Structure 1
Amino acid sequence: MPGQRAGEPLVHAGPRQAERVVAVPTTISVRHAELSPGSVLTDELWSVVADAGCAAASIQLCAGTLGALSYVHPAIDHSGQRQATFSDTIAVTEPAFLSSGSATLGLRDGDRFAHLHASWRGSDGQLRGGHLLPGATVGAVPVHAVVRALHEVNQYSETDLETGLPAFTPARRPADALGQRRGVISRVRPGVDLHEAVLFACRKGEFASATICASLGSVVGARLRTGAGRVVEADWPATEFTELTGTVRYAETGSPEVILAGTAVDRNGDVHSGLLIPGQNPVAVTFELYLEEAAADGG
């Protein structure tokens, strides 16, 4: 049945918007930060973004430990009101050794709002991951964050009429100062394949080459290549990426090259990593996709 397995787009109950990828070019500033042990993760991130004179950012969480932590992962909505929802809250009471993480900072109802996904290992060595709830703290080891402050963009979180779930949408804003690099921040709506979305955003920024990072969101299941002849297919309906990285080359030609790799958590709480198979990873609910211009390709 269509829409019941990984790689097949979900059909949501709400009205479908015509613009499937909202891509906004912007200049950016890159800041590296060590987040203080015991601090609230988002408070530290907001301090870095404010120092850059911005109100929105795309962020990579690279190393360190998390302290107090509550999270959820994707789940089936048995009420039938939505195609996907979240699990019950899971509390972590022991140190979590960060493996990867991504965050989007913006506004919701006029207040600062953050969307964070991460994967980590507990003291038992098991890899876990999910959507972090407000209040997560930095553990005994500082968390290293790479903050890409967006100078010409605001990010607004609202409940999406199509899916019934919250989503960030970028919008241009006047900038007091410009950053030194160029990027594109995008909202990708349900059904759009991630490879297609990346190429669209790259061309929107008029980049011949680009790198993808600091991106998070969900796809329908997930279909990942994990070795020669090996494919992992995560369970329907939604799998959330804690990390998405990749490259684009030759975007201005008729033969572009897009390579994406990621780490994602499924509805069972299992974490998967691998290369995304082109054309087989449509967005489930929303995806916050960030890419920035890369050096000219000499090859």
Structure 2
Amino acid sequence: MTARRAGVPLVHPGPVAAERIVSVPTSVSVVRAELAPGTVVSQGLWALTQAAGCQSASAELAHGCFGTLRYVHPAIGTDGERPATFSATVEPAAPGFVVSGTATVGTRDGAAFTHLHATWLDGEGRLRGGHLLPETTVGVVPIQVTLRAQHDVALLSEADPETSMPAFTPHPVASDSNSGTRAVMSRVRPGVDLHDAVAEIAARAGFESAIVRASLGSVVGARLRSGAGRTVEADWPATEFTTLTGTVTGTDGGPPEVLLTGSLVDLNGHVHSGVVLPGQNPVAVTFELYVEEAAHG
């Protein structure tokens, strides 16, 4: 029996795919905007993506507040097959004041679809976080968005035979974009350590240095450093990152240096933040990883 603790890869019910990291290089256009009060967040992000002439994007949310807010967080699987699933839907009273959020924008079954994680402060000042459902709207304070529209990628959300859960996968599409920003959009499958994935993606792309941002997904529990000598361990089986930000240097010779920081929500609905410990955070179900070539100058 597999150990039920943070950092130990999960065993899923389906066949294990041979390709553990699916990556598509792309040129990127950066769009900065506000989502107006009353906007359905997922629809607003899709409109920005389409306006940039793209089928997919990675976005970061900040400030503002949510109006209608329904969400779930990780839970232990109850069907005897899947080790991890989602909690019952939580619907707190509005407003929820946005601390941070990350979204992947693409399509499912031919229609627009957004995968959105966020953290926020509720009306009592408590920090909350989770996987937001599609009907989530903007409240009375507009939400700021930084969206990275991907010209050479189509992100399709489909059922995954390995995990029996849906996941976004990047696919290449033809583009005539001349954007100077180079990036790679990747899907990381279960069991791959986050640091290893970031290092491999940057090296494959030929990025001498890179940044990680606008990325979300789940790891097995989680192990973080939060202060000198202090390690935070979130509960098994899955913890969902609401933000992941970091840097990669030294890919052109010797082992690269990868520094990742993030905020995440555990199966109790608690939010944790810190430096992600290398070699101790394998992907639980899927991770949508955006790696961008660092600017030189």
TM bracket (short chain): over 0.9
Q: Does 1:237 align with 2:215?
A: no
Residue 186 of structure 1: aligned partner = 186
Query: Which stretches in structure 1 are left out of the alignment for 5+ residues?
Result: none
Residue 98 of structure 1: aligned partner = 98
Moved over 3 A (4+): none
The SS at the match of 1:91 is coil
The answer to whether the 8 A contact 2:56-2:104 is kept is yes
CA distance in 1, matches of 2:197, 2:162: 19
Residue 16 of structure 1: aligned partner = 16
The answer to whether the 8 A contact 2:2-2:11 is kept is no
CA distance in 1, matches of 2:20, 2:291: 17
Residue 33 of structure 2: aligned partner = 33
How far off is 1:201 after superposition?
1.0
Query: Which stretches in structure 2 are left out of the alignment for 5+ residues?
Result: none
CA distance in 1, matches of 2:33, 2:115: 18
CA distance in 2, matches of 1:89, 1:106: 23
Residue 112 of structure 2: aligned partner = 112
Residue 228 of structure 1: aligned partner = 228
CA distance in 1, matches of 2:145, 2:295: 23
Question: Once the two structures are aligned, what percentage of the paired residues are identical?
Answer: 59
**What letter is aligned with 1:95?**
P
- Deviations along 1:230-274, whole A, 9 cap, x unmatched? 000000000000000000011122131100000000000000000
Q: TM-score, normalised by structure 2?
A: 0.98
The answer to whether the 8 A contact 1:3-1:11 is kept is no
Q: Does 1:129 align with 2:136?
A: no
The answer to whether the 8 A contact 1:24-1:153 is kept is yes
Residue 42 of structure 1: aligned partner = 42
RMSD of aligned Cα (Å): 1.0
Residue 200 of structure 2: aligned partner = 200
Residue 141 of structure 1: aligned partner = 141
**What letter is aligned with 2:98?**
L
**What letter is aligned with 1:6?**
A
How far off is 1:177 after superposition?
2.6
The answer to whether the 8 A contact 1:28-1:178 is kept is no
CA distance in 1, matches of 2:243, 2:285: 16
The answer to whether the 8 A contact 1:151-1:178 is kept is no
Are residues 135 and 178 of structure 1, via their aligned partners in 2, closer, same or farther at CA, if it must alter by over 3 Å? farther
Residue 210 of structure 2: aligned partner = 210
How far off is 1:25 after superposition?
0.7
The answer to whether the 8 A contact 2:65-2:98 is kept is yes
CA distance in 2, matches of 1:15, 1:209: 35
Query: Number of aligned pairs?
Result: 297
Q: TM-score, normalised by structure 1?
A: 0.97
Residue 167 of structure 2: aligned partner = 167
- Deviations along 1:100-141, whole A, 9 cap, x unmatched? 100001111111111000010001111110000011000111
**What letter is aligned with 2:194?**
L
CA distance in 2, matches of 1:228, 1:150: 38
